[in-house]
Every structure is written in C-alpha cells, then in structure tokens.
C-alpha cells in the first residue's frame, strides 16, 4: 500500500494569533507524532507499505482559488493579508471568527495547494491515499471567509478534479463536529459529487445548518446527505448512524474517489462542541471510511484535517492514528491522548 503525507512546516503560518482556538499545533504535532511512531518515510525516501512519503506542496494559484471563490473575495483576502488593518467584514474577515493576519493569503493558499496536490497524486495513480492535515477548511463560502476558514481547499480540489476529468464521481465524507456547509454549498445542485456530513445538530452548534432535510436541489437532489447528531452523542451513536446513513449513501453512489474531512472536534473534551467521541471512536470512523473506499473505489482516498480545539494532545493523536489507518498499519490506540510533544 502506498500513501503520502502532504505537508510543509510553513503551513503552520495559518495562525490567527492571540487566544484564537484554531491553532496550527493540531497538525504540526500530529506530524511530529507520526515521525515518533515511525510511520513516515525519511525525507527524500519514497513511500512504502508501512511508511508514508512526505510531499511538500506548491501554494494554490489565483486561478485555482477562483475555481470556487469570487474575484472579490480573493482581492479582499490579499488586501487584508498585506495589511491586516484593511480587513473587510463584508467578506467575513475581521474581528471574530476569522480575523485578518499578515500573510493570510499565502497561508490559506498553501492549504489549498496541499489538497490539490493530494488529489492529483491519488487520481494520477502515484499513490493510493494521501493525507493533508492542514486542510479541511470546509466553512469558507464562494464569496466570504467563515468559521476560521479563509479558502475552501476541499471544494477547490474537487472542482478542479471534476473539471479536468469529466464523469469523475467524488464522495465527500465529513466527520467534523461542525456541518460542512461550504462544501455542500459548492455542489448542492450537482449529481457528480455526493456530500455527506456527520456533525452536531445545527440546532445547537455553528453554523446552524446541516439538517436532514437538506438533500440537494435540481440535478443534485438526493446527493447531499446530512446526519445531525444530538449533543452527547458518543462512539456507539456515531457508529450506528454511520452504518445507517453514511455507508449506504456511499455504496449507492459508487464513487471513483473518497475525499474525507477528519475534523477532531467531536471529542468529548473539545471546548467548542458538545459531543462524546473518544479517540478510539474517531479512529473507528476513519477505519470505516477506509473500508468504504476499499469496497467502492479501489481504496482511493484524499483525507484532510479540519477542526479540533485540543491542539496539543487529542487532535494530534487522532490525526496520527488516521495516518496509520490510511497506511493500514497496526498502531495501538492510546488509552489517553498523548502528552504534548515538540513540533518540527
């Protein structure tokens, strides 16, 4: 089996600063833990059956970003990136969830470039699976940043892939605690992209969307699947809901590739959500996503990170285990999240 980690330490420049809950340590420490466990190849070495190769992506171009986002949003992000005092709240940038910071455009373009690189590697047959822990910024909309997300890497990478490969069928499976609203928006009227989101019900949590009644429009009717979970839902409830809704939807769709968003904020200790997943429960969901890909698209997966607001122990553990699942390596699930470790 062949898999890659798409990562550059510079991706940690995606940092809102201060006491903002979205911290890049959630993925930089995950990579450090992967190295500690020996599941990453040494720099320059190719991937093997038990070690993922590490690929540094190029940032997305403006043309890539404009596949999904408006020129006005791109211009607003660039302006705020060059001078954070020039933020424009009309585009979701400013005090609150998504504050401006110096270099914001470059950092966000790096995340997009990572997911594009992963998609091209898998669809091109270079590797079977790829993981982009800095990706999964699923709340960004066509015309505005939102929910800690500047550009929507998953929507852009899927849009680019389906344009370049007419007839490609993509199943997007999102297990972040927050609804994958930006990706759903991107493909809500299309039948070639299935969007599936398991999340805490929008009755209780941002962004307030993702009701079961949201199923798509026009040609896309039936190709959006939402599984809103009640507060306090844990491992057993998630497993049951996955088998009842997610697995049949993916099987009926018959994808050519699975794009998975593996947000870690469904954990029982997450400060921003109200769910009860354990680290082992999250790993079990990733395992089932891998099985679905094996069953329906010859194992092809592009996985991304996403949310998760225990950045020093819980989320790094979850995502290091996710890399092990993508590789098919038997790494024991820790009884507790790891102790904090140093990033690269």
Annotated active-site positions, please?
139
The answer to whether residues 4 and 131 touch, using CB atoms and an 8 Å cutoff, is: yes
How far apart are the C-alpha atoms of 26 and 308, rounded to whole Å?
7
What spatial distance separates the first Cα and last Cα of the chain, rounded to whole Å? Answer: 26
**CB-facing half-sphere around the CA of 340: CA atoms within 13 A:** 6
Instruction: For 301-334, give the DSSP string.
Output: EEEE----S-TTTHHHHHHHHHHHHHHT---PPP
Tell me whether strands 53-55 and 3-6 are parallel, antiparallel or unpaired: parallel
178 Cβ contact partners less than 8 Å away, ≥ 6 residues apart:
138, 139, 147, 199, 200, 205, 206, 207, 263, 265, 273, 307
| CB of 29 closer than 8 Å to CB of 343 | yes
Sheet of 301-304, strand order: 53-55, 3-6, 129-132, 301-304, 257-261, 170-174, 193-200, 224-229
**How far is C-alpha 336 from the chain's CA centre?**
23
Report how far residue 270's alpha carbon sits from residue 177's, in angstroms, rounded to the nearest whole number: 10
């Amino acid at each position: 089996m062949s898999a890659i980690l798409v990562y550059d330490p510079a991706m940690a420049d995606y940092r809102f600063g201060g006491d903002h809950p979205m911290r890049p340590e959630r993925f930089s420490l995950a990579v450090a833990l992967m190295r500690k466990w020996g599941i990453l190849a040494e720099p320059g070495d190719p991937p093997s059956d038990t070690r993922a190769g590490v690929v540094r992506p190029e940032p997305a171009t403006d043309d890539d970003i404009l596949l999904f986002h408006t020129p006005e949003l791109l211009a607003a992000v660039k302006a705020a990136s060059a001078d954070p005092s020039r933020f424009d709240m009309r585009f979701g940038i400013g005090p609150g969830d998504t504050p401006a910071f110096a270099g914001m455009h470059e950092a966000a373009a790096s995340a997009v470039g990572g997911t594009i690189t992963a998609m091209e590697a898998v669809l091109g047959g270079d590797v079977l699976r790829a993981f982009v822990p800095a990706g999964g910024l699923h709340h960004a909309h066509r015309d505005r940043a939102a929910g800690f997300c500047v550009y929507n890497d998953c929507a852009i990478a899927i849009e680019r892939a389906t344009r370049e490969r007419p007839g490609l069928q993509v199943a997007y499976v999102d297990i972040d605690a927050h609804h994958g609203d930006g990706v759903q928006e991107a493909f809500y009227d299309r039948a070639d992209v299935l969007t599936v989101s398991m999340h805490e019900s929008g009755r209780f949590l941002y962004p307030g969307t993702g009701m079961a009644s949201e199923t798509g429009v026009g040609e896309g009717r039936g190709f959006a699947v939402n599984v809103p979970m009640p507060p306090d839902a844990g491992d057993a409830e998630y497993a049951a809901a996955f088998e009842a809704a997610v697995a049949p939807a993916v099987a009926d769709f018959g994808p050519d590739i699975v794009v998975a968003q593996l947000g870690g904020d469904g954990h029982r200790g997450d400060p921003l959500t109200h769910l009860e997943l354990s680290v082992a429960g999250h790993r079990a969901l990733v395992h089932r996503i891998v099985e679905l890909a094996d069953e329906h698209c010859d194992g092809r997966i592009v996985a991304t990170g996403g949310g998760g607001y225990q950045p020093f122990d819980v989320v790094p553990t979850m995502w290091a285990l996710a890399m092990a699942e993508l590789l098919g390596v038997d790494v024991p699930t820790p009884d507790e999240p790891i102790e904090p470790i140093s990033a690269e």
